[in-house]
Amino acid sequence: MSTKQNYSTLIVMEKSVMATTQRGSPQFPTMSYTMPASTPEEMDAAIQVLQTHKDTWAMLPVRTRITLLDQLIHDFMAISARWVAAGQQAKGIAPNSPLAGEEWSSGTWPVLKNLTQLRQSLSDIETHGQPRIPGPVTARPDHQVVAQVFPISAYDRLFFTGITAEVWMEPGVTIEGLASTQALAYREKQPTGKVALVLGAGNVASIAPMDILYKLFIENQVTLLKMNPVNAYLGPLLAEGFRALVDGGFLRIVYGGASEGSYLCKHGQIDEIHITGSDKTFEAIVFGPGKEGAQRKAEQRPLLTRRITGELGNVSPVIVVPGPWSESDLAYQAAHIVTSLTNNAGFNCNASRVIIQHKQWSQRDALLQKVRKTLAQVPTREAYYPGAQERQRLFLEDHPQAELFGTTSDKELPWTLIADVAATQDNEICFTTEAFCGLFAETALEAEGILDYLDRAVEFANEELWGTLNATLIIHPATLKSPEVREALDRAIANLRYGTIGLNYWAATGYALAVTPWGAFPGHDIYNIQSGTGVVHNTLMFSRSQKTVLRAPFRSIPTPPWFVTRGKAARKVFARLTSMEATPSVLQIPAILWDALRD
């Protein structure tokens, strides 16, 4: 299929979804929101197929894997419009609403980006022996190695102007030895394979397929995916889009809730486990549920001894650095911050949860006022993820002064801001508990100037906020004119113990780039798991990454289409970018730029 035909087909499918949904007779069959749980016999049979094929996969030649990826790109692109439509329907999003772009930007586009980057990495391995790093590799004054991994292509430079991403390696990795930390599964191929269990996440549609790709193509393990009950409706579509892996006996998909998950985690023929979810679920798997599980954890007597990795959430900070912000700067960054909460109705592990400000900054209240104004303009959304109402209630019990934006209904929750939370409060729920709904807090730190504030903000984020997944810093270019501030900012980025750090760019976007490792800051063990252990995505296949650092201008031009204020542009831009990943062509550039520049 040509590029032009491919994109035309995608747009026709998308328009058909919109039109027929409005008529009430959808072109694509309504997805069932409840898939029947797999029986023990069905799960056993799925595992047996994977056991039979695990050694074949382990020794599968690179050229054959590239051919598989070509098929996966084609097949996943073919189901992309239906994938998006299913997510929109399940989350109560009208196909023509400003919110419709989210299921493109976080559902299909990252998966296609992941697939095409894996293909490039395998081509590099075939030709050069390892994936090629697209940017410079340098060493910091303390000898820590930094590899620039984004932008990868001319298209990235065009569509993400001024955006870069670096991967900082663990101490001890040298520039000369960096290549030896890449693609270990391809350097040290083992004739005996493994069966991995992936416990899928229910909130973001791209998580499960991208976790599968990591296990298969980077860790070299055939994979059993148990769909999360919240988005199990995507399972049949995933089986269709990844049918090349299913047909080869390298992937199986099963369904069910906690009991099926428990059965699989205890199964003797599962070699490794990966979970995206909560730390409580992780601990129940490792130690068992309830009081007995808590006792085993306290006594360091885990039930599970096989390897388990996980991405488990965070109380994500946004550190706002004082500066001479204009009215338009305040409005831009308020939209930036509000987007980082309201995206996906707040059901993101990487959603911003605590805005950190300098107490003496004269524009602190002005920024909060812009945040309030923006929140008031964002329509409330269906609280589709189970338990949202109860989680919000717990925060409101502790903070009855919380500000609510929008109305409460059986299906929707108002956006919630808890401003001026005391930074010195012990056991503060806003600092110790991930809300996982449309709620965030603001706190302010006493400090003697910007340099002191940056040090204190980093210490607060590291020591007082739960989790180590991602953090965002916002700083005005005029503030950075001072060499002392630049040095303090560099020290802040180095000292923040988070897996992804965004400078003037919501750190969560590192999730979607695929080339960047995604996971907690390394060092957590099962007795203090917090945001988890291990990484996913990571298409350059580093084995010893420490953190990702995204860098962007203080204000991107044009305003990124993923901002909540650019909803009308997002649907068209990310639908086109999805097609661009599958079948890149310069012929698509004008339309993408046109849509990106207009609302």
Same domain flag for 251 and 322: no
Residue type, 553: P
Same domain flag for 211 and 348: no
Same domain flag for 325 and 431: yes
288: region left, alpha or beta (phi > 0 left; psi from -120 to 50 alpha) = left
Partner residues linked to 354 by β-bridges = 317, 441
Same domain flag for 90 and 193: yes
Q: Is residue 59 part of a domain?
A: yes
Domain with residue 81: its CATH number is 3.40.605.10
- DSSP line for 107-174: IIHHHHHHHHHHHHHHHHHHHHSSPPPSS-EEE-TT--EEEEEE--SHHHHHHTTT-EEEEEEPTT--
Same domain flag for 360 and 266: no
CB within 8 Å of 495: residues ≥ 6 apart: 458, 462
| Token pair in block for residue 395 | 């925060």
3-state secondary structure 34-65: CCCCCCHHHHHHHHHHHHHHHHHHHCCCHHHH
Q: Taking the CA of residue 375 as centre, how many other CA atoms within 13 Å lie in the half-sphere pointing to its CB?
A: 26
Residue type, 336: H
Last residue of a domain, one of 454, 475, 499: 499
Q: What angle do CA 582, 588, 592 make, to 5 degrees?
A: 100
Same domain flag for 360 and 410: yes
What pLDDT, on the 0 to 100 scale, is given for residue 599?
A: 67
Q: Could you report how far apart the first and last alpha carbons of the chain are, in Å?
A: 31
Q: Is residue 554 part of a domain?
A: no
The count of domains in the chain is 2
CB within 8 Å of 155: residues ≥ 6 apart: 580, 584, 589
Same domain flag for 272 and 382: no
Domain holding 74, by residue range, is 3-131+182-277+565-594
Cα separation, 137 vs 133, in Å, equals 8
Same domain flag for 394 and 478: yes
What pLDDT, on the 0 to 100 scale, is given for residue 7?
A: 35
Distances 310 to 2, 151, 535 between C-alpha atoms, Å: 39, 27, 8
Q: State the pTM of this model.
A: 0.93
> Residue for token digits 């707040």?
346
Domain with residue 474: its CATH number is 3.40.309.10
Residue type, 545: S
168: region left, alpha or beta (phi > 0 left; psi from -120 to 50 alpha) = beta
What pLDDT, on the 0 to 100 scale, is given for residue 598?
A: 82
CB within 8 Å of 509: residues ≥ 6 apart: 502, 550, 562
Same domain flag for 269 and 322: no
Q: Is residue 365 part of a domain?
A: yes
What pLDDT, on the 0 to 100 scale, is given for residue 10?
A: 41
Residue-wise burial string across 329-363, b where 16 or more C-beta atoms lie within 10 A, e elsewhere = bbbbbbbbbbbbbbbbbbbbbbbbbbbbbbeebeb
How many CB atoms lie under 10 A from the CB of residue 389? 12
Residue-by-residue pLDDT tens, the chain, 599 positions: 333 334 333 433 333 333 323 323 233 333 445 799 999 999 999 999 999 999 999 999 999 999 999 999 999 999 999 999 999 999 999 988 889 999 999 999 999 999 999 999 999 999 999 999 999 999 999 999 999 999 999 999 999 999 999 999 999 999 999 999 999 999 987 889 999 999 999 999 999 999 999 999 999 999 999 999 999 999 999 999 999 999 999 999 999 999 999 999 999 999 999 999 999 999 999 999 999 999 999 999 999 999 999 999 999 999 999 999 999 999 999 999 999 999 999 999 999 999 999 999 999 999 999 999 999 999 999 999 999 999 999 999 999 999 999 988 889 999 999 999 999 989 999 999 999 999 999 999 999 999 999 999 999 999 999 999 999 999 999 999 999 999 999 999 999 999 999 999 999 999 999 999 999 999 999 999 999 999 999 999 999 999 999 999 999 999 999 999 998 889 999 999 999 999 999 999 999 999 999 86
